[in-house]
Amino acid sequence: MPKQYKIACLGCSWTEGINDPSDGKKNNLAEENTYPFKLQKFLSTHGRNTQMIQAGRAGSGVEYCHLVADYLLNEFNPDIFVIQLTTHDRSILALDPKYQDEKRIRWSYDTINNTYHKVWQLSDNLINLSPGLGASASSHNESNQYTDLLVKMYNEKIKDKMAPEVSFSDYKNYIALWWEQSCNTDFQKYFYYSHIYSLVDHLQEQEKIVIPFYWLKWKPEFKTKLFQNRQYPSIQGMMGNKVFDSYLIDKGYHFSPEGNAKLVEDFLGPTILETM
């Protein structure tokens, strides 16, 4: 019987398949239209037996990849990690819950067809920070596309749940200050690269196959003598702007089902087959 490979796909909404709600659509892709699902189907047609772990999380940055990778190693121990690298201007706001059983990061997953797992992060005290969220929180920006989401997140995840209590004003001001002052600093850029490289190195030390790639070809410029910038492929760079743009379904650079199929057929599928 051929070996069953466990493959984990980490990333942001480009992996999870959630569209940009600012476009007024929010027609999230059905799971079978995401690239992790299409990747498993591609590998099956090429005679490979796999378990696929879909661990994308909308709005998340590379810090989140560290957290979920730790969970995945303990829960699934994947053979292959596919890491879709998002932009550098994201972070996490971690708050302190009232109750002891909420202080540890909680995870769960749904299983589809026995061999496909969708991972969920359940902890209320972790808030993924993104530029859109920051702009909507800031009084120095006219954007209000995520204002409703800011309120919803506060009411559902923070209000009456933290110790000491966190007011909506303090929560909003923190996110605004992060966006206005922090998310494009050299400090943020340094930790963007160091988070990426430390995660890749750690997984490789665990004898895992790691396939990192950027979604966009743009990367922040940062000069340091502590490490060299590594050259990982980008989907936009490999496809070229014209083809890449033809698969976009919103302003957030999210792919249509056809775009995810091309991503798998032209890059991820053949790359993973070479490692098996």
In a domain, 138, yes or no: no
The type of residue at 83 is I
End-to-end CA distance of the chain: 15
Residue span of the structural domain in which 207 resides: 4-94+104-129+185-275
In a domain, 180, yes or no: no
CA angle 90, 69, 136 (to 5 degrees): 20
Number of domains composing the chain: 1
In a domain, 153, yes or no: no
In a domain, 49, yes or no: yes
Question: What is the rounded CA–CA span in Å between residue 78 and residue 94?
Answer: 27
pLDDT for residue 26: 54
In a domain, 221, yes or no: yes
In a domain, 9, yes or no: yes
Q: Which residues, listed in sequence order, are joined to residue 91 by a DSSP beta bridge?
A: 129
pLDDT in tens, the chain (276 residues): 678 999 999 999 999 998 765 555 556 889 999 999 999 999 999 999 999 999 999 999 999 999 999 999 999 999 999 999 999 999 999 999 998 888 899 999 999 989 999 999 999 899 999 999 999 999 998 878 889 999 999 999 999 999 999 999 999 999 999 999 999 999 999 999 999 999 999 999 999 999 999 999 988 988 888 888 999 999 999 999 999 999 999 889 999 999 999 999 999 999 999 999
Q: Which of 16, 184, 177, 224 is nearest to 87 (CA)?
A: 184
In a domain, 227, yes or no: yes
CATH of the domain at 195: 3.40.50.1110
In a domain, 159, yes or no: no
